[in-house]
Structure 1
């Protein structure tokens, strides 16, 4: 077996301490590294498996001194069985088209992102994002990445209305959902949950073992939707371990993005 050796050593840095965007009263700090251009895809694979998250050409993970609520989670694709409620969500959105497109930003996507951020995350760190910021988020990277667009059926022969977008990385052992956003006026469709379920189907189709969901933040209400997917693996000090099941009485469908 040939071992891959990066052309350059990856250097890690620490951010300054800042207020946590998820848990009131907590402070956050991150360790990060620049993804190299020549080995970006391979380094992204390795760092994602080690609990890092990608943003443009940077990989980061929490390094908070007083809190460990952020947990990297992934879904084991081959073991996943859709629940009754999840099958209902898939059926509810069966009319949507799904297109895999190149990681190239469009104004149509950006307009949907602005609507999503203003409705779902007002005052958040991304609400001031401009067009060039969005272009950088989508296009500024050397990893294997693409966009998934979800659209309503066409009524005039042209493209249907864009209702959801996912920025997704292709890894050696799975898919990583970097960021997703959707039409905030279509709550009934549960588009955030649907996007995850659809990615599980995509990963299964190409026989990839994992779907990486980024961080689940214990105690953060807007992150609880991730914990409702089972089975789920979490990265601990002992490596990736299976999270225990949660009682069916607390399994409530929720929708989110990001």
Structure 2
């Protein structure tokens, strides 16, 4: 069995492939393995350096002629509520998110498939089997969790759990300085307000309650409509050549 050192990680570069965000461009990624007892600390350091996690792999763009992908984190302590975000938060009070261990379920997978087929039918994740999904959730050596969102019930204030069908799921890593939203999905048929926006707001509130200064949202891609929503959450910091700097 191949073993990878965890105290001195080795980095690898992928071959060029079509960019999923900007048409006509090629992407490359640099990646390393997140395994063993040092994985949580390494995940912290690499996230601060603009890496993202997928299962037991940490990766970041390494494109030769493009720097459109920018790592984004929301500044929790100074977060500003716009009128539209206040409205979304108020409408979402009928929903509650329950923090659970990182374990997959058939109900999660069914919602995951519905979300992909409705919102990302041309994406690479549409080929994921139930086993692939299970690996995405539980194949990790870092501190992570699943947050399941459902409607509030009469006992939710006691149990912290919602009732009824599953409406949304967030796979989230807990870092030393924040929460990193690895992947999230929700019921596209749910009407009334944006569940995607609500889940980000919920993470901001969770981070505040935990005394964590940041919520990491992954990459904002200049010129990609898919990523435009991330600019709503301000102030935020972007990672540039000289480190993190606040924008907005």
- TM-score (normalised: structure 2): 0.93
Rounded to whole Å, the distance in 1 between the matches of 2:139 and 2:131 is 11
Rounded to whole Å, the distance in 2 between the matches of 1:187 and 1:241 is 36
Equivalent residue for 1:199, pick from 179, 182, 203: 203
CA shift for structure 1 position 9: 0.7
Q: Deviations over 1:33-92 (max 9, x none)?
A: 001211110000000000000000000000001111000000111010221111111111
Mapping 1:51-130, distance limit 5 Å: 51-130=50-129
The reply to whether residue 28 of structure 1 matches residue 63 of structure 2 is no
SS of match in other structure, 2:163: coil
Q: CA RMSD in A?
A: 1.5
Residue in 1 that maps onto 2:40: 41
Residue in 2 that maps onto 1:166: 170
CA shift for structure 1 position 26: 0.4
Alignment check: 8 A CA contact 2:79 2:233 kept: no
CA shift for structure 1 position 188: 2.9
Rounded to whole Å, the distance in 2 between the matches of 1:48 and 1:8 is 16
- TM-score (normalised: structure 1): 0.89
Matched residue count: 238
The reply to whether residue 234 of structure 1 matches residue 238 of structure 2 is yes
Q: Deviations over 1:203-257 (max 9, x none)?
A: 00011011000000110001000012211100000100112x3xxxxxxxxxxxx
Rounded to whole Å, the distance in 2 between the matches of 1:197 and 1:7 is 34
Residue in 1 that maps onto 2:159: none
Alignment check: 8 A CA contact 1:145 1:169 kept: yes
CA shift for structure 1 position 7: 5.5
Q: Which runs of 5 or more residues in structure 1 are unaligned?
A: 1-5, 246-258
Rounded to whole Å, the distance in 1 between the matches of 2:6 and 2:23 is 41
Rounded to whole Å, the distance in 2 between the matches of 1:106 and 1:181 is 14
Alignment check: 8 A CA contact 2:6 2:39 kept: no
Rounded to whole Å, the distance in 1 between the matches of 2:193 and 2:214 is 25
Rounded to whole Å, the distance in 1 between the matches of 2:244 and 2:59 is 18
